[in-house]
Amino acid sequence: MNMKVVLLLAFVAFVAGDSRPAYSYDAPSSEESAEAKYDFNWAVKDDYSGNDFGHQESRDGDDTQGSYYVQLPDGRLQTVKYFVDGDSGYVAEVSYEGEARYDSVESQENAYAPPRPAYG
Q: What is the pLDDT of residues 14-68, one digit of tens each?
A: 666 655 566 676 666 655 556 889 999 999 999 888 889 999 999 998 889 999 9
Higher pLDDT, 103 or 52: 52
How far is residue 9 from each of residues 1, 4, 16, 58, 77, measured CA to CA in Å?
12, 9, 10, 65, 80
Judge if pTM exceeds 0.75. Answer: no
Range of the domain at 90: 36-101
97: in domain: yes
CA distance 72 to 75: 6
Is residue 95 over pLDDT 80? yes
Higher pLDDT, 42 or 3: 42
Is residue 9 over pLDDT 90? no
Residue 53 and residue 42 in contact, taking contact as beta carbons nearer than 8 Å:
no
- Amino acid type, 14: F
The secondary element (H helix, E strand) that includes residue 28 is none
Question: Hey, how many other C-beta atoms are within 10 angstroms of the C-beta on 66?
Answer: 17
Q: What pLDDT shows up at residue 78? A: 96
45: in domain: yes
CA distance 10 to 14: 6
Return the minimum-mean-pLDDT range out of 24-28, 85-89, 92-96.
Answer: 24-28
Residue 68 and residue 83 in contact, taking contact as beta carbons nearer than 8 Å:
no
115: in domain: no
8: in domain: no
Q: What pLDDT shows up at residue 27? A: 66
Q: How many domains does one find in the chain?
A: 1
Q: Strands 77-85 and 51-60, how do they pair?
A: unpaired
Q: What pLDDT shows up at residue 98? A: 93
CA distance 18 to 15: 5
Residue 80 and residue 67 in contact, taking contact as beta carbons nearer than 8 Å:
yes
